[in-house]
Amino acid sequence: MPTTVLSRTANRVVTAGAEGLALAANAWSRLEQVADPRSRRGRVYPLECLLAMVLCALTAAGHDRLSAVGQWLARPAKPIWPGYGHPTTRPPAATGRPRKKMVRVLLDRLDPAALTAALLASASDPTPAAGSNASSPSRAASRSVRAYPARRRDRQAQQAARRLPAVAVDGKSCRGARGGDGRRVHLLGLAEHGGGLLDQVEVGAKRNETGHFRPLLQGKDLTGVVVTFDALHTVRSNLDWLVDNKKAHYVAVVKRNQPLLHARLAGLPWSRVATGHIIRESGHGRDETRSLKTVSCDQLDFPHAQQAVKIIRWRRDQTTGRVCRETVYAVTSLATTAATPADLARLAREHWHIEAHHHIRDVSFGEDGSTSRTSHGPVNLATLRAAVIAAIRRAGYLHVPESRRDHTTPAEAIRLHHLD
């Protein structure tokens, strides 16, 4: 496979046409913006080349740990890696290949904010339709992408129905990772509804999430965007700032950690309110019915609250027949003219996209089992995993494990990330 040389220290050669060059140049330019924390003395590989290698290694199935990444990088791939800044003018014995320790030290020292900006900048790019090519008609984005016509039609219909752009904020613990002080690593992430992870910051512990809510959203353009989150972030000062300063809207879940507001919502005359939206679904071994009621209310003594929301979730296990019923209350700054009950039901439901993203990182990439324990390593590894998931979604895959099995060689992984 001819290699496109697009590193900062090599000549740029066009082998994929103008459109392919634009994609590759964009991918490399983002990596080149990351500041190199290493000393200039003794550098062998440019930083962007090392990051590209690690990104491709994490893409391949079964390579979830730094030891596995080191093994993958040691594979013979002479037609590929020389184009990524490999100093071919020196004897291979004198330079060797990147090792596990080199990668670990680099990730420990790398600025997490810079890496997040470089790798997650395009996480919200639209996913190509089935059979389409993410880069150009002459270049396949991956070796095999199944059509899944029914599920893809449902997803496209959901995207077309989205009248209100929305993002979700949620935290995640890396259970096996520890920081320099021995505490468990906890991350606060921002994801687009129906899209990928946009940003994340390390917050130290779950109780610190509310203090990092503003820094996480500070640099984002949220004008007219709806922000969803769980009850932990239903904080008056943060939501007042969100509406007044960022010109955004919110859908805030209210639980018993806000006892007065929760009691006020529960005491509204819901029995006299007609159900505004109801949906019934079957899947994953259960039957589920979700109904939603809304009440226009500006007397809640809560910043910018326009509507009160009551959601009832009814589930029945198809195997055991066990039935559970859950009632959730929420408030929103969206007026009835701006959001219908169907819109609010969709926003509440799609908040779980960020939970699904966290689940994929735990199940498919083994993030909870990762025992990286120094400096910025855990958060940078989480960012790399999120970038792999975003690339897989853009390629048209619906299942992450399938894509990782399709991209086990350097050539396939490089093509997936548009680095060729």
DSSP codes joined into one string, 346-388? HHHHHTHHHHHHHHHHHHTS-TTT----STTHHHHHHHHHHHH
Which stretches does DSSP call E strand in 297-363? 307-317, 323-332
Q: What is the pLDDT of residues 98-127, one digit of tens each?
A: 778 888 888 888 999 999 999 986 555 443
What's the confidence (pLDDT) of residue 135?
38
Q: What is the pLDDT of residues 119-160, one digit of tens each?
A: 986 555 443 333 344 333 334 445 556 656 666 666 666 666
Q: Dihedral of the CA atoms 233, 238, 240, 241 (nearest 10)?
A: -140
Is the model's pLDDT at 173 over the cut of 90? Answer: no
What's the confidence (pLDDT) of residue 251?
96
Please write down the long-range contacts of 150-153, taking CB distance under 8 Å and 24 or more positions apart: 151/398, 152/398
What pTM did the predictor assign?
0.82
141 in Cβ contact with 415 (< 8 Å): yes
Domains of the chain, by residue range, sit at: 17-146+375-416, 246-341
What's the confidence (pLDDT) of residue 224?
93
Q: What is the pLDDT of residues 14-47, one digit of tens each?
A: 333 444 445 556 788 888 889 999 888 877 788 8
Residues 6+ apart with CB under 8 A from 20: 4, 14, 135, 136, 138, 139, 418, 420
Tell me the pLDDT band of 304, cut-offs 50, 70 and 90: very high
CB atoms within 10 A of CB 304: 16
